[in-house]
Structure 1
Amino acid sequence: MTGVNQVQVRPDVNLTFAKALRSILRQDPNIIMIGEIRDVETAEISIRASLTGHLVLSTIHTNDAIKTITRLLDMEIEPFLIASSLTGIVSQRLVRRLCTECSYEENPSPSEDVVFKKYGMEIEKVKRAKGCPSCNFKGYAGRVGIFEVLPITKVMQKLIAQNAPMIELEKQAKVDGMVPLLQSGLLKVKKGITTLEEVLKVASE
Structure 2
Amino acid sequence: AISAVARVVEMGIEPYLVSGALIGVEAQRLVRKLCPHCKQKITLTPMQLDRIIHLIPDDFAFYAPVGCGKCSQTGYLGREMISEVLPISDKISSLIAKNATKEELTNAALAEGFKDFFTDGIRRAAMGITSIEEVYRVAKS
The two structures have a TM-score, normalised by structure 1, of: 0.64
Aligned: 1:100 with 2:14: no
List structure 1 segments (4+ residues) > 3 angstroms apart after TM superposition: 119-125
| Distance (whole Å) between structure 1 residues aligned to residue 109 and residue 41 of structure 2 | 34
| Residue equivalent to 1:157 | 93
| Distance (whole Å) between structure 1 residues aligned to residue 140 and residue 55 of structure 2 | 17
Q: 1:145 to 1:89 in 2, by over 3 A?
A: same
| Distance (whole Å) between structure 2 residues aligned to residue 197 and residue 136 of structure 1 | 19
Q: Is the partner of 1:146 in helix, strand or coil?
A: strand
Counterpart mapping for 1:29-68 below 5 A: 65-68=1-4
Contact 1:107 1:124 in 2 (8 A): no
| Residue equivalent to 2:13 | 77
| Residue equivalent to 2:139 | 203
Counterpart mapping for 1:90-169 below 5 A: 90-117=26-53, 119-121=54-56, 125-169=61-105
After superposing the two structures, state which structure 1 stretch, 85-94 or 188-197, moved more: 85-94
Contact 2:55 2:123 in 1 (8 A): no
Contact 2:61 2:127 in 1 (8 A): no
Q: 1:189 to 1:120 in 2, by over 3 A?
A: closer
| Distance (whole Å) between structure 2 residues aligned to residue 98 and residue 124 of structure 1 | 15
| Distance (whole Å) between structure 2 residues aligned to residue 120 and residue 95 of structure 1 | 18
Contact 2:16 2:97 in 1 (8 A): yes
- Larger Rg over CA atoms: 1
For structure 1, the 5+ residue unaligned runs are: 1-64
| Distance (whole Å) between structure 2 residues aligned to residue 125 and residue 192 of structure 1 | 6
What letter is aligned with 1:158? Answer: S
Alpha-carbon offset, residue 124 of structure 1: 5.8
Q: 1:194 to 1:120 in 2, by over 3 A?
A: closer
| Distance (whole Å) between structure 1 residues aligned to residue 86 and residue 22 of structure 2 | 10
Aligned: 1:179 with 2:125: no
Alpha-carbon offset, residue 165 of structure 1: 2.0
| Distance (whole Å) between structure 2 residues aligned to residue 163 and residue 124 of structure 1 | 40
For structure 2, the 5+ residue unaligned runs are: none
Aligned: 1:189 with 2:132: no
| Distance (whole Å) between structure 2 residues aligned to residue 126 and residue 158 of structure 1 | 40
